Amino acid sequence: ESSPKASAVAGADKEIRAINDAYDQQRLQLERQRLESLARLAERQSPAAGAVTYEQLFRLAIANNLFIDAAKTAEIVVQKGSPSPTTLGLANFVKIIAECDRGEHEQALQTLRRVIDASDDAARNNAAKPTILTSEKIELCDLYYQRLIHSSKVDIAKQAFQLLKDRVRDPAMVEFVNNRLNRLNLVGAKAPAIRGTDLDGKPFDLADRKGKVTLVVFWASWCLPCASEIETLQQISEAYRSKGFQVVGINLDTLQDDGGKAERVLPNVRRFLIDYNVTWPTLLNGDGEKDYAKAYGVTAIPSNTLIARDGTVVQIDLVQKNLESTIALVTGE
């Protein structure tokens, strides 16, 4: 059962989410109307002025997650071309994500191939490059990555990020793409070892859990999305326990920017576990063999890894959309 504090927090969160969701829906409707108005304006303008308007339209679509709403406009710009490489680049990105959102993941991969080939041709001809910041490129590529992973399209994600790896040269982009590929390449491989002592002082060895389906959850006490997922994970853990399903937590409080030794972070970690009535084994991330985050390629949280009964990684970074259905499949439900 949930603790009184956890139940109260969950109840308050639910009411706040309901209010925020209602206002978000109204705001998004206004944003959709703005996209339509900008599209009509761009159609009347000269090519140069239209390119500026289209760029604003695509940036708004990206910021508000309105890819399908902007897809028709993006298709028009891609087909007709644009005097602005930046506008054309953003149009192609909106097109790729809209295809993912429609479930057309293979088509999105083909679009990415075409964009990369066109970029190579432009480079050979010394054509102007899009003026998109590296941080923006990383954010856009991560949106694509999340779309694929949350739809359980790991094989397509591997192909897409291998294509990017073969092309990117910017050091920050290289690091980002390599990090994502390292994580993707876990799927189908033997799960890295997790061996240590949990916060109750009990020895833990993932190898001893072979025969069970294990979800390794990486989290931190300061991560609000991590907190919001706890209740869902508790419910799923209880529902599938009889099927041989278990959760193991890896706390990353020691990786805070200001540094954190175990004795310094433990009070907050223990308080979090008590407040949310977390009952599964939890280990602190450490150094060397105990740097579980590094072994699992985790560079952002919340993050998780699903391990089959034979010790093989079968999925990464499950979310509410595909969490329970994937666990049901792997446990044989």
Q: What are the pLDDT digits (tens) for 263-283?
A: 788 888 899 888 888 889 999
Looking at residues 47-68, what average pLDDT do you find?
Answer: 97
Residue 141's pLDDT band (cuts 50, 70, 90) = very high
Range 287-315 average pLDDT: 94
Backbone angles phi, psi at 246, to 5 degrees: -145, 155
pLDDT at 4 over 70: no
How much is the pLDDT for 3? 57
* 147: pLDDT strictly greater than 70: yes
Q: Residues 148-156: what's their mean pLDDT?
A: 94
Tell me: pLDDT of 204 over 60: yes
Average pLDDT for 180-207: 95
Give the least confident one: 113-122, 139-148, 255-264, 286-295: 255-264
The Cβ of residue 3 has, within 10 Å, a number of other Cβ atoms equal to: 12
Percent of the chain predicted with pLDDT > 70: 94
Which residue in 197, 181, 190, 196 sits closest to 307, CA to CA?
Answer: 190
Nearest to 51 by CA among 94, 97, 85, 95: 85
Task: State the pLDDT confidence band at 53, using cuts at 50, 70 and 90.
Answer: very high
Cα–Cα distance between 213 and 53 in angstroms, integer? Answer: 51
Question: Where along the chain do its domains lie?
Answer: 21-184, 195-331
pLDDT at 212 over 80: yes
Q: Write out the CATH class of domain 195-331.
A: alpha beta
Query: Residue 249's beta-bridge partner residues?
Result: 217, 282
* Strands 245-251 and 282-284, sheet pairing: parallel
Dihedrals phi, psi of 289, to nearest 5 degrees? -65, -15
pLDDT score of 222 more than 70: yes
Closest listed residue to residue 82, CA positions, set 63, 55, 116? 55
Give the Cβ contact number of residue 211 at 10 Å. Answer: 9
Please check whether the two domains, 21-184 and 195-331, share a CATH topology. Answer: no
Peptide bond connecting 85 to the previous residue in cis, omega within 30 degrees of 0: no
Q: What is the 3-state secondary structure (H, E, C) of the chain?
A: CCCHHHHHHHHHHHHHHHHHHHHHHHHHHHHHHHHHHHHHHHHHCCHHHHHHHHHHHHHHHHHCCCHHHHHHHHHHHHHHCCCCHHHHHHHHHHHHHHHHHCCCHHHHHHHHHHHHHHHHHHHHCCCCCCCCCHHHHHHHHHHHHHHHHHCCCHHHHHHHHHHHHCCCCCHHHHHHHHHHHHHHCCCCCECCCCEEECCCCCEEEHHHHCCCEEEEEEECCCCHHHHHHHHHHHHHHHHHHHHCEEEEEEECHHHCCCCCCHHHHHHHHHHHHHHCCCCCCEEECCCHHHCHHHHCCCCCCCEEEEECCCCEEEEECCCCCCHHHHHHHHHCC
Report pLDDT for 258.
57
Least confident of 184-188, 202-206, 271-275: 271-275
The pTM score is 0.83
Instruction: State how far the alpha carbon of 260 is from the alpha carbons of 254, 263, 283, in Å.
Output: 4, 8, 15
Assign 260 a pLDDT band (cuts: 50, 70, 90): low
Reported as a single tens digit per residue, the pLDDT across 81-115 is 999 999 999 999 999 999 999 999 999 999 999 99
Residue-averaged pLDDT of the chain: 90
CATH 1.25.40.10 fits 21-184, yes or no: yes
